[in-house]
Amino acid sequence: MNTTKACLYIRVSTDEQADKGFSQRDQAERLQIYCNQRGIDVVRIIFEDYSAKTFNRPEWAKIIGELQKTKGRCFDQVLFTKWDRFSRNTADAYHMIRLLREYEVEPMAIEQPLDFNIPESKTILAVYLSMPEVENDRRALNVIYGMRRARKEGRWMGKAIHGYKNKITEDGRKYIALVEPDASLMKWCFEQIAENVYATEHIWMMAKEKGLKIGRCGFWQCLRNPVYCGKIVVPKFKDEEEYTVRGAHQALISESLFYKVQDVLELRSIKQVERHVHGIKATTPDEFPLRGFMTCAKCGKTLTGSGSLGCRQRYYYYHCRVKCRQRFRIEVTHRLFENELRKFVPRVGIPEIFRMVVLDTFSDESAYIKNERREISNLIFQQQQRVNKSREYLLTGTISETEYNEIREDSRHKIIRYEADLKAIEERVNHDFDIESMVNNLLSHMENIVNLYINADTSGKRHIVGSMFSGKWVFDGEVHRTMELNRAASLIYQLNNRLRHKKTGAKIEKNLNSGEVPESRFELPRRCQHQPLKLARLPISPPGYLAANIYLFAI
């Protein structure tokens, strides 16, 4: 009589071993006793520490591989304590039982024995297999509901993102907190991208040089994550749409800054598709501080720079692509640009006018804030009305459900951003900053702008250029035609143009219309020899935006 040979399969997952006491040693002991009592020869003992949701388990794969090699002659039975040790997936379990029986190997649970020759045993097997699966599904559902509830309460689930660290309170409650220096570096990245000067990837490279340890893909994911502005995303689940809630953690940046970064990233994505514009590189060879800031007057492409070896030395040029053949010597280009910078040096008397205008504007900021609040509230109301009208159109069959969902989602995103703007207004009201010192620093830098530029290194030169010019400019070899300027630099430039023929010490008459921002104006004297004082009107940007431009170049 041949002795029955068996393989003992002992499986346990970490949570089961901790919670229910399904230790591997206990299972092995019971299986050994069962085999000794029945004279079964144990040829192999397999220990598995893996989930039973699928059969993609390392040790089980070895069992199947050995059966395939020996055609099932290595053992006759696979023994385990209960059917939930074998599988917690009914469909996979039936398939695996069929596969084992093809190799003439019988799976058997010693505490839940079944005779597969009896048809009714299949019904009992279905119960044994389905109950663990139901238990798993219920546990998974409880975890989903628990994590969703935690998200609704504003708690971040999982590993902390860059700039934050996982922590636990004394009562065992988990949370995330800011950690340095990653927090400051991530904040710096958001601020740099919002300025819309350098390419995003080069900002990431600069941050890595400063000590930020993060990959390229991870960096892009972080930039899109609203956790940094104090929001937690509650994902879509069944009939409940995705939405965001206020997080319980400390925000790293303001909501307005976060959404401004999103606008910059989306705008760059559109430009990359339509015009292949990738932004300005943060780093460049020392010979080409203006590379990436200029566009070709002939074809509109961005000018790059390179050197060519002559008979005795290397000559450097800014040039367009090969087919365009536009090329300019760097000496001429730099000299013309320095001449262009001199236009922004405030003329005699301009600093007093500029200081007066800015301080006057900010002294009457309350009226502007009131108007801005009202305008944003109206925009929010318009979006709400838009959703209500689209709902009516949906009920009457004018639009489809898909169109209605698109309108509602678009309005929801706009309302979120408008609410972020409202919050930024409140923060600005509560934020006490010394605008007079900022204006004085700005004027001091502008008065020495040419020397600052000439004496700065390449990185400093590019910072000055990026701070003053909001976009690229056209260069035809003779003239730098600027397109977009920093608001503060633009204001000084306009003042210089308006007063370049006026004498120093002219009397200044103020028109306090700062409460009409963004339509506010300041007035400048325009005297003729036989005419009374006439006033020229020039635009002023809103106080908050003007302050940002002043701060950008004043630091």
More confident residue, 278 or 383: 383
Mean pLDDT of 96-106: 86
5-143 and 164-274 agree in CATH topology: no
Is pLDDT of 106 > 50?
yes
**What pLDDT score does 366 carry?**
61
Return d(Cα 23, Cα 14) in angstroms, integer: 9
Is it true that the peptide bond before 181 is cis, omega within 30 degrees of 0? yes
Is pLDDT of 146 > 80?
yes
**% of the chain exceeding 70 in pLDDT:** 78
Q: Identify the weakest region by mean pLDDT among 39-43, 154-158, 288-292, 368-372.
A: 368-372
Give pLDDT tens digits for 185-203.
Answer: 999 999 888 877 777 888 8
Q: Identify the weakest region by mean pLDDT among 8-17, 28-37, 538-547.
A: 538-547
More confident residue, 108 or 371: 108
Give pLDDT tens digits for 458-478.
Answer: 777 877 777 777 667 777 777
**% of the chain exceeding 90 in pLDDT:** 0
What the block records as the tokens of 486 is 């920093």
Q: In CATH, which superfamily holds the domain spanning 5-143?
A: Resolvase, N-terminal catalytic domain (3.40.50.1390)
Is pLDDT of 118 > 60?
yes
- Confidence band, pLDDT 50/70/90 cuts, at residue 361: low
CB 344 within 8 A of CB 515: no
Q: From residue 235, give the alpha-carbon distance in Å to each of 141, 224, 238, 245.
A: 15, 15, 10, 11
Diameter of the chain measured on Cα atoms: 133
Is pLDDT of 355 > 80?
no
Cβ neighbour number for residue 342 with a 10 Å cutoff? 10
Mean pLDDT of 299-312: 78
CB 256 within 8 A of CB 284: no
* CB-facing half-sphere around the CA of 12: CA atoms within 13 A: 18
Give pLDDT tens digits for 66-88.
Answer: 888 887 788 888 898 888 888 88
**What pLDDT score does 216 carry?**
84
More confident residue, 317 or 519: 317
- Of the ranges 35-49, 307-321, 363-377, which is most confident? 35-49
Q: From residue 515, give the alpha-carbon distance in Å to each of 80, 521, 542.
A: 82, 10, 10
CATH code, 164-274: 3.90.1750.20
**What pLDDT score does 548 carry?**
46
Q: What are phi and psi of 533, to 5 degrees?
A: -60, 130
Domain boundaries, the chain: 5-143, 164-274, 327-555
**What pLDDT score does 524 carry?**
36
Mean pLDDT of 10-17: 69
